[in-house]
Structure formats: structure tokens, C-alpha cells
Structure 1
Amino acid sequence: MGKEYNALITSSTWRLVPRPPGANVVTSKLLFRHKYHSDGSLIRHKAHWVVRGFSQQADVDYNETFSLVVKPAMICTILSIAALHVWPIHQLDMKNAFLHDHLEETVYC
């Protein structure tokens, strides 16, 4: 939980402000998971801060939604094409990738 919180603070993702009158506040929560080795032993505890977008209101606090989810079929397709053309394949795991972009909208959480 500390690493997740520090990543948000370090990147200046948010700042504490008074709630404006009439603003819809999107609720959030921390999700906790355990990561395990293939033998079942514990690797680490993980925490993710997630905003519960279902509390947003159409035409009030969003215009469109986007989810950074890759479908397994797409990964298989890309790997098949790369193997067919003998392209090198590299893996990148970017922690907190969502922190590296800027929103044009103001969202109150």
C-alpha cells in the first residue's frame, strides 16, 4: 500500500482541494492481492488504488471511458505474427503506466 501511495504522491497525480458545489465525486477504494510463486509460496502483497467509474454520470463528469486491458487473443495474434517474421520479442512491465499521461478533464475523487 505504501508503494502505491508513494507512486501517486511522487508523480503529483492528485492534490487535495475543497469539493466544489455540485461536483460529482467518483468514489475509490484500495484492492489487496497476494502474488504467489508457481510452488504456492508467497512472493509479495500488492495494493491497487482503483477509481470506481460506475459512479460517474453521463454528460456530467465523462465523455468516454477507456480501459487498459489487453485480450489474450490479441497477445496470441501479435506473438504469432512476430514468430512468423522472426521478429525479436521484448517484454516490458511498466508500474503505474496510467500515471504517465495527462487528463484534460477534472475528476474529483
Structure 2
Amino acid sequence: MWIFRHKKKDDGSFERHKARLVGDGAGQQVGVDCGETFSPVVKPATIRTVLSLALSKSWPIHQLDVKNAFLHGELKETVYMHQPLGFKDPDRPNHVCLLRKSLYGLKQAPRAWYKRFAGYVSSIGFSQSQSDNSLFIYRNGTTLAYILLYVDDIILTASSGTTFSYP
């Protein structure tokens, strides 16, 4: 289904129209059309620890919100959906769409996004913390960097405010 809403500015005034195509994950069955659905999120104690470290060492802290994060997840299962309203093929109205990427509303969408993100940061030299799967750590000489992932929100802090190179 389509979800429509108005995006508002900080002062509450209208900014723009937003539309999002959402899958209906309620009809999905674990083991049939979705596998793992759990997506780890960073623990509150980890957030406090990393932010305390960054503040005590005067490291810069950056907060990022990933736009359309779930759309970046790659589906491992075969998932079909009806053609969305407004985009039905008049020559093939009974055909369905095979999804390659996850959509908001699918049970596996958060997990697919998490796995894609974790795979990427691992490829550039970050390693996952053993105590919190949503904490990623980069070490290179005296340079340290921490990434905290909470669904589609990211906090990044590093010992160096300048750009440092990844392997």
C-alpha cells in the first residue's frame, strides 16, 4: 500500500508531500517467505559509554539518519507483491512483482538493512564488538573510530577529526 503524509519544517509549517510504498508483512510466515527477522540495535549502555569516551577526549561526534534505509537491504527470500495502485500494467493486471530489495513493512527489512550495513563497514576495516553487535570499531595505529547503529540512525565518533584512510 501507499502511505502519504506531509513533511513539516521545524516550525511546524508545511515543507513537502511524502509518499512511501509499504509491503504488507503481516501475511508473511517465518521460514516460508521470510527467514531471520531480528535486527540488533545498539544497547543504551553502549551509547552512554561511547559518548562519554568521545566527550572526555573531545572527539567530534556526528549523527546521521540514513534515508530510505530499508530499501538498501537485499532480500535473500523470494517475495512477491501485488502491483501497487497507480502502477498496474493495463496489459497484465493480474501479474505480481518479484521484489529484489526490501520494503518498509516486510518482516525481514530491518535485518536485511542491518546485514548490508554490517557487511559494508566490515569491508572498510571496522569490526563488530563482541559485547554489542551494533557497535563497530575501527583501529589503525593510534586512530580509533566507533559507529553506533540504531535501525537507520548512526552515531560516528573518531579520535581524529580529519579524514583518515581505510584499508
TM-score w.r.t. structure 2 length? 0.38
The structure number with the bigger radius of gyration is 2
Identity over aligned residues, as a percent?
Answer: 56
Instruction: Pick closer, same or farther for the CA change 1:79–1:103 going to 2, 3 Å.
Output: same
Distance across 2 between alignment mates of 1:49 and 1:68: 24
TM-score w.r.t. structure 1 length? 0.53
Higher helix content, 1 or 2:
1
Larger relative contact order, structure 1 or 2 (CA cutoff 8 Å, min sep 6): 1
| 1:36 maps to 2:12 | no
Higher strand content, 1 or 2:
2
Partner of 1:83: 55
Report how many residues are paired. Answer: 80
Ranges in structure 2 where 5+ consecutive residues have no aligned partner: 82-167
Code of the residue aligned with 1:51 in structure 2: it is G
* RMSD across aligned positions (CA): 3.0
| 1:46 maps to 2:18 | yes
Partner of 1:64: 36
Instruction: Pick closer, same or farther for the CA change 1:70–1:46 going to 2, 3 Å.
Output: farther
What aligned pairs does 1:88-99 form with structure 2 within 5 A after superposition?
A: 88-99=60-71
CA shift digits 1:10-55 (9 cap, x unpaired):
xxxxxxxxxxxxxxxxxxx111121212322101111111112111
